[in-house]
Amino acid sequence: MATAALDPVTEMQAPFLPDHVIAQKEAIPSIYGAIDFTRMPERFSTDLSDKVEMPERFLDLRAELLSDREKFETIRAYTMTGDRVADAYAALMPQYGFRALVDMLELACEKGIEAVENAPPELAAFIAAMEANPAWLDMEMVEEGARQERNGHVHLTPFVLRGAFIATFMNKYSALPMALTGTLSNGTAARRAYETGSFFTSTLMPGALGRFGAGFKAAAKVRLMHSMVRANIARSGKWDASVYGVPIPQVDQMPAGLIGTYLMAREVLDSGREEFTPQERARVELARYRCFLLGLPEDLLGETPREIERLWLLRQATLRAEFEPETCGALLRATMAADMSQGDGLSGKIRDWMESGFSKLFFINHFMAGNRQLAASVGVTMNASDKLAGICALLFVQGQIKFYKILDAIPGVRGWAGRRLVKKLARMLEAYGHADFITDASQYRPAV
């Protein structure tokens, strides 16, 4: 009976998709020409009998979430949406070559579009879209959000980067683009994880998200990377749009960009509150603007804890769950085996040990609902040594975070503590190395 009640929703297919979604086909035929926008792909599910990516604790809410017509239509539309301006620029690869596109984008980010001689109009539109600040933007709040984030990021990220990265390809429908490009196989897993860490770290530096900041430039290059993947996949002949839909759709960029915001929203709601504190609000503003620069539509950038939760859960409620060993398993094994050492000597070995255990603990608790058997079924196992390492890392991280919170509360040393955190961020960026954020089809080595 419950499934039957969803018939009006399941019948609303492409004729009810917004014009901007359907327009991709004619605007950028080299990427979207082969996609049938008259039907939703296999990955998109509204049948209550289907297994989806929702955590078990929220499954009872699925029918109610699917009946939220406004947010349902939002998630459905952006399941079939790429990045209009970045895709149009990436589609110029046959004409300019990928290296020239990257070089022109870097120059436009560093010195402005006027510095690019004979800049293609697609590049001008790309930069203009990033420069068009949304009406809600408060850069002072963004800077405060970055200040609030530095402490946790500096001390926690080195231990959770691997575990959080694994979560991005636990679903075969969202993992396939990475598998097709081979970007997490053949020894490149650590570099890709470091690129992800480098991007988020760079956005926390003072002034990084200003027009000529390092974070602005990094966001532009990440967008181009994703669009190049879409363009190369479209030419590969290996993509079944009836199954997978649009490569790297906007809804699949939510997890990486908003995971911290969602977890914070969950903590707020679980505590019985419905509103963020001013400090939490600043962190939300940072995440929203960072995602805006990455090309996420404002419709996906919730403001309140409840709105953030519903958008996140509705994305999970419509994403069919399937772990494919040949795709997801290859990526998972490569990332778990990647060398992500944290220094030399005894202290480095201890941190490596703690990182290995804590990354597993983080992954199991946040993405496997604490179910170690389920985690083991996809290749992530935790033994006694791992558990001890995770506990040691947790105590170490909590101690460091609490120490800097105390320093931040003391007016006389707050400035010194803040400068020290910025120096720690700089050292993290140095350790991560140069992040290319590019994808060259000639270097593809498919994982499958």
Give the Cα-Cα-Cα angle 137, 142, 144 (nearest 5 degrees).
Answer: 140
Residue 89 lies in a domain: no
The string over 220-242, giving b where at least 16 C-beta atoms fall within 10 Å of a residue's C-beta and e elsewhere, is bbbbbbbbbbbbbbbeeeebebe
Residue 342 has what pLDDT? 64
Q: d(Cα 135, Cα 200) in Å, to the nearest integer?
A: 23
How far from 146 is each of 101, 133, 140, 209, 264, CA to CA, in Å?
30, 18, 10, 10, 15
Amino acid 432: pLDDT: 84
Q: Is 50 contained in some domain?
A: no
In a domain, 117, yes or no: no
Q: If we measure between CA atoms, which residue out of 190, 194, 164, 225 comes closest to residue 361?
A: 164
What pLDDT was estimated at residue 181? 67
* pLDDT at 332 (0 to 100): 79
pLDDT digits (tens, 9 = 90+) for 65-107: 999 999 999 999 999 999 999 999 999 999 999 899 999 999 9
Residue 88 burial (10 A CB sphere; 0-12, 13-18, 19+) = buried
CA distance 133 to 131: 6
Residue 206 lies in a domain: yes
What secondary structure, in 3-state letters, does the chain show? CCCHHHHHHHCCCHHHCCHHHHCHHHHCHHHHCCCCCCCCCCCECCCCCCCECCCHHHHHHHHHHHCCHHHHHHHHHHHCCCCHHHHHHHCCHHHHCHHHHHHHHHHHHHHCHHHCCCCCHHHHHHHHHHHCCCCCCCHHHHHHHHHHHHHHHHHHHHHHHHHHHHHCCCCHHHHHHHHHHCCCCCCCHHHHHHHHHHHHHHCCCCCCCCCCCHHHHHHHHHHHHHHHHHHHHHHHCCCCHHHHCCCCCHHHHHHHHHHHHHHHHHHHHHCCCCCCCHHHHHHHHHHHHHHHHCCCCHHHCCCCHHHHHHHHHHHHHHEECCCCHHHHHHHHHHHHHCCCCCCCHHHHHHHHHHHHHHHHHHHHHHHCCCCHHHHHHCCCCCCHHHHHHHHHHHHHHHHHHHHHHHHHCCHHHHHHHHHHHHHHHHHHHHHHCCCCCCCCHHHCCCCC
Number of domains observed in the structure of the chain: 1
Rg of the chain over all Cα atoms, to the nearest angstrom = 22
User: Would 103 be classed as within a structural domain?
Assistant: no
Q: Is residue 343 part of a domain?
A: yes
Q: Which of 78, 47, 74 is nearest to 317 (CA)?
A: 47
Residue 87 domain flag: no
**What is the predicted pLDDT for the residue at 1?**
37
Confidence (pLDDT) at 379? 79
Site of tokens 């939220």: 68
Q: Which residues of the chain have pLDDT under 50?
A: 1-15, 186, 438-448
43 belongs to a structural domain = no
Instruction: Print the domain residue range for 250.
Output: 137-443
Q: Closest Cα to residue 287, out of 273, 274, 300?
A: 300
